[in-house]
Amino acid sequence: MLPFDRTSRGQTNHLMPPLAVPLYTLHLGSRDGFPISRAEIIPPVAKRFVSFSVTEGIGFFEGKTDPGWSIRIATDDIATLVALAEDLRSTFQQFGVGIEAFGHYHRCREANRGDELIAQLWGSRHGLEPTYFQTIFLTPEKAAVWPENFAILTAYATTGEVWSDERNHEADQRLHQQFLALGLSPIRIIGSSPDRGHQEPSWAVKINRFQALTLGREFLQDAIYWVEGNQLSVISCHGHGKPVPVGTFRARLK
């Protein structure tokens, strides 16, 4: 079935489906103060998505009202959504394109910010900190062979808190001793921000997911990382317990 247009009260729908998948809204403003026509907007959106709606709207830019559009898309494909936001930003010379999702507002304001936006949207969708989706891993101890499945845990200050060096060190050593008591062989691994400005000593350990989450909760953690067949995921210690994909582990290993 081909897409169809239905124009009513400034809205164009292209087979907008029932909300069985997450709904995102992209906010597009004027171009140099002049409104962009619907005819210009539809082709770049339709190039990436079959189903969407386009609605006229008024925003604000630099203290002035700004005629624009709201583009609503129901999709599971966050990467393509972010690529579309960048297309719209560059094509229509936008200062930024807003992406509204799960009660949060994100902005595509510059080129090559795709991975960061994807991380923010994943975080919003699953109630997890966006930084979890940006973490890289440093390995002072090189593993000859990584296990097929393993967890990455830290005992350092839980997300949103600041602990003393003494408390962080004590918790880290206590977690290490727990692993040894279970007959495990943990490998030191450091979770780091991409610019390496923030680093957090952690442990990679061959353990099942239930045990990893139990230890994560015991050591006051918000989430743990889980690696299964090179697929890196993050799992909330307090939510549904399902892995949320981050990417491949080896691509994050530096």
pLDDT at 104 over 60: yes
CB 49 within 8 A of CB 25: no
- Residue 6 pLDDT grade (very low, low, confident, very high; cuts 50, 70, 90): very low
Sign, CA dihedral 245-152-135-103, equals positive
Say which residue, 94 or 6, is predicted with more confidence. Answer: 94
Could you tell me which residues come within 8 angstroms of residue 228 by beta carbon, excluding any fewer than 6 positions away? 148, 149, 243
3-state secondary structure of 114: helix
- pLDDT grade, residue 238 (50/70/90)? confident
Q: What is the pTM of this model?
A: 0.71
User: Phi then psi for 15, rounded to 5 degrees?
Assistant: 50, 50
CA atoms lying within 13 Å on the CB side of residue 200: 24
Q: Is 24 helix (H, G, I), strand (E, B) or coil?
A: strand
Closest CA to 244 of 236, 136, 252: 236
Give the domains, in start order, of the chain with CATH numbers. 7-127 (3.30.70.120), 133-252 (no CATH)
Give the model confidence (pLDDT) of 19-40 as tens digits: 568 999 999 999 887 899 999 9
pLDDT in tens, 25-82: 999 999 887 899 999 999 999 999 999 999 998 877 777 788 899 999 999 999 999 9
Helix (H) or strand (E) holding 125: helix 114-126
Quote the Cα angle for 227-244-172, to 5°.
Answer: 55
| Ranges 10-14, 77-81, 191-195: which has the least confidence | 10-14
Closest by CA position to 59, among listed 19, 105, 24:
105
Determine the residue type at 237. Answer: C
pLDDT tens sequence across 106-150: 988 877 678 778 888 888 888 888 889 889 999 987 777 899 999
Residue 144 CB-half CA count within 13 A: 0
Report angle CA 179, 157, 154 to the nearest 5 degrees: 30
- Better-predicted residue by pLDDT, 8 or 128: 128
Distance, CA of 189 to CA of 169 (rounded, Å): 15
Rounded to an integer, what distance in angstroms lies between the CA atom of residue 101 and that of residue 26?
9
Provide the CB-side half-sphere exposure for 235 (13 A, CA): 26
Amino acid at residue number 177:
Q
Per the listing, tokens 């409104």 go with: 35
CB 50 within 8 A of CB 2: no
3-state secondary structure of 165: helix
